[in-house]
Amino acid sequence: MQFFKVIQDAPTADCEPVEGTHPLYILYTSGTTAAPKGIVRDTGGTAVALTWSMHHMFDIQKKDKYFSTSDIGWVVGHSFIVYGPLLQGATTVLFEGKPVGTPNPGIIWSIVEKYKIKGIYTAPTALRVLRKEDPNGDWFKKYDLSSLKHVAMAGERLDIPTYNWISSQLPKCLINDTYWQTESGLIICCNYLQLHTFKPKAGSCTKPVPGFNVKVMGENNKLIAEPYKLGKLVVKLPTPPSFMLTLWGHDEAFRDKYLKEFPGYYAAGDAGYFDEDGFLYVMSRIDDIINTAGHRLSTSAMEEALLTHPDIVDAAVVPANDEIKGEIPVAFVVLKTGKSFDQKLLEKALVDVIRKEIGAVASLKTVMIVSKLPKTRSGKILRAVLRKMINGVDYTVSPTIEDLSVIPEIEKIARLHGFTKPGKPITAKL
Amino acid sequence: MKIIFNFLSRHLAFYFYSIVCNTLLTVYIFRSSQIKLIKINKKTHIKVKSMSNPYEIQYQQALDPNTREAFWSKHAEKVDWYRKPTQILTEAPPNNSLWFKDGLLNMCYNCIDRHLVDCGSSLALIYESPVTKRSKVYTYTELYYHVSKFAGLMKSYGVGKGDRVILYMPMIPEAVFAMLACARLGAIHSVVFGGFAAKELSGRIKDAEPKLIVSASCGLELTKIIDYKGMLDEALVLSGYSDKLKVILVQRPMKIATNIVAGRDFEYHKVTSQIFYLFNY
Q: What is the CATH number of the domain that holds B206?
A: 3.40.50.12780
Instruction: Report if residue A16 sits inside a domain.
Output: no
How far, in whole angstroms, is CA A174 from its chain's centroid? 18
CA A63 vs CA A88, A116, B115, B121: distances in Å: 8, 11, 10, 10
Residue B21 pLDDT level (bands cut at 50, 70, 90):
very low
Across the interface, which of B182, B200, B222 has its CB nearest the CB of A102?
Answer: B222
Residue A360 pLDDT level (bands cut at 50, 70, 90):
confident
Q: Is the CB of residue B131 less than 8 Å away from at least one CB of chain A?
A: yes
Q: Angle at CA A421, nearest 5°, toward A416 and A424?
A: 105
The whole model's pTM is what?
0.80
Chain B residues closer than 8 Å to A249 by CB: 207
Instruction: Report if residue A5 sits inside a domain.
Output: no
Q: Does residue A394 contact residue A417 with C-beta atoms inside 8 Å?
A: no
> Which value does ipTM take for this structure?
0.82
Tell whether B134 and B256 lie within a shared domain: yes
Strands A231-236 and A366-370: unpaired
Tell whether A348 and A263 lie within a shared domain: no
The number of beta carbons lying within 10 Å of the beta carbon of residue A168 is: 10
Number of residues that this document lists for chain A: 430
Per the structure, how many domains does chain B have? 2
pLDDT tens digits, one per residue of A29-88: 864 445 778 999 999 999 999 999 999 999 999 999 999 999 998 999 999 999 999 999
Q: What mean pLDDT is reported for chain A? A: 88
Secondary structure letter of residue A237 according to DSSP:
S
Residue B22 pLDDT level (bands cut at 50, 70, 90):
very low
pLDDT > 90 fraction of chain B, expressed in percent and rounded: 70
Tell whether B186 and B68 lie within a shared domain: no
Instruction: Report if residue A352 sits inside a domain.
Output: yes
Rounded CA separation B236/B202 (Å): 6
Tell whether B76 and B135 lie within a shared domain: no
Q: What is the pLDDT of residue A296?
A: 66
Tell whether B60 and B136 lie within a shared domain: no
Q: Angle at CA A101, nearest 5°, toward A97 and A104?
A: 100
**Distance (Å) from the alpha carbon of A56 to chain B's nearest alpha carbon:** 9
Phi-psi bin for B266: left (phi > 0), alpha (psi -120 to 50), beta? Answer: beta
Rounded CA separation B30/A52 (Å): 15
**Largest interatomic CA distance in chain A:** 74
Tell whether B158 and B214 lie within a shared domain: yes
Q: What is the pLDDT of residue B19?
A: 52
Q: Choosing among B110, B180, B211, which should be mutated to test the A contact, i.e. which has the most A CBs within 10 A? A: B110
Tell whether A223 and A272 lie within a shared domain: yes
Q: What is the pLDDT of residue A358?
A: 77
Q: What is the pLDDT of residue B49?
A: 46
H-helix segments, A134-218: 138-141, 160-169
Strand partners, A332: A316, A368
Q: Does residue B228 contact residue B170 with C-beta atoms inside 8 Å?
A: yes
> Higher model confidence: residue A169 or residue B2?
A169
Rounded CA separation A366/A321 (Å): 13
| Domain C-terminal end among B104, B133, B164 | B104
pLDDT tens digits, one per residue of A271-325: 899 999 999 999 866 667 777 766 667 787 788 889 888 889 899 999 998 877 7
Q: Is the CB of residue B49 less than 8 Å away from at least one CB of chain A?
A: no
Q: What is the CATH number of the domain that holds A49?
A: 3.40.50.12780
Most confident of A282-291, A377-386, B129-138, B175-184: B175-184
Instruction: Report if residue A6 sits inside a domain.
Output: no
Closest CA to A77 of B122, B256, B176: B176
Rounded CA separation B67/B35 (Å): 10
Strand partners, A150: A119, A174
Instruction: Quote the domain boundaries for residue A212.
Output: 23-284
Strand partners, A231: A272
Number of residues that this document lists for chain B: 281
**Distance (Å) from the alpha carbon of B76 to chain A's nearest alpha carbon:** 5
Q: In chain B, positions 133-192, which contact chain A (CB-CB < 8 Å)? A: 140, 145, 148-156, 160-162, 164, 167, 169-173, 175-176, 179-186, 188-192
Q: Which of A211-225, A372-386, B116-130, B264-278 has the lowest mean pLDDT?
A: B264-278
Tell whether B128 and B154 lie within a shared domain: yes
Strand partners, B125: A92, B138
Closest CA to A79 of B205, B111, B81: B111
Across the interface, which of A15, A36, A74 has its CB nearest the CB of B106?
Answer: A15
Q: What is the pLDDT of residue A221?
A: 87
Residue A395 pLDDT level (bands cut at 50, 70, 90):
confident
For residue A60, what are the contacts with CB-CB under 8 A and spacing of at least 6?
Answer: A54, A66, A84, A85, A88, A90, A118, A119
pLDDT tens digits, one per residue of A244-280: 999 999 999 999 999 999 999 999 988 899 999 999 9
Chain A residues closer than 8 Å to B82 by CB: 17
Tell whether B58 and B140 lie within a shared domain: no
| Domain C-terminal end among A241, A264, A284 | A284
Q: What is the pLDDT of residue B180?
A: 98
Instruction: Quote the domain boundaries for residue B122.
Output: 111-279
pLDDT tens digits, one per residue of A171-197: 999 999 999 999 999 999 999 999 999
Q: Does residue A22 contact residue B83 with C-beta atoms inside 8 Å?
A: no
Q: Choosing among B95, B115, B142, B190, which should be mutated to test the A contact, i.e. which has the most A CBs within 10 A? A: B95
pLDDT higher than 90, residue B27: no
pLDDT higher than 50, residue B33: no
Tell whether B140 and B87 lie within a shared domain: no
Tell whether B44 and B84 lie within a shared domain: yes
| Domain C-terminal end among A259, A284, A309 | A284
Per the structure, how many domains does chain A have? 2
> Higher model confidence: residue B192 or residue A380?
B192
Q: What is the pLDDT of residue B37?
A: 37
Q: Does residue B270 contact residue B278 with C-beta atoms inside 8 Å?
A: no
> Higher model confidence: residue B35 or residue A103?
A103
Contact call for B148 and A13, based on CB within 8 A: yes
Tell whether B129 and B148 lie within a shared domain: yes
Q: Angle at CA B8, nearest 5°, toward B3 and B12?
A: 160
Residue B145, phi then psi, degrees to nearest 5: -60, -50
Tell whether B54 and B116 lie within a shared domain: no
Q: What is the CATH number of the domain that holds A312?
A: 3.30.300.30
Across the interface, which of A46, A210, A241 has its CB nearest the CB of B58?
Answer: A210
Rounded CA separation A246/B159 (Å): 23
pLDDT > 90 fraction of chain A, expressed in percent and rounded: 59
Tell whether A277 and A297 lie within a shared domain: no
| Domain C-terminal end among A264, A284, A304 | A284
Q: What is the pLDDT of residue B29?
A: 40
Instruction: Report if residue A18 sits inside a domain.
Output: no
> Higher model confidence: residue B126 or residue B30?
B126
| Domain C-terminal end among B41, B71, B104 | B104
| Domain C-terminal end among B82, B104, B126 | B104
Tell whether A174 and A77 lie within a shared domain: yes
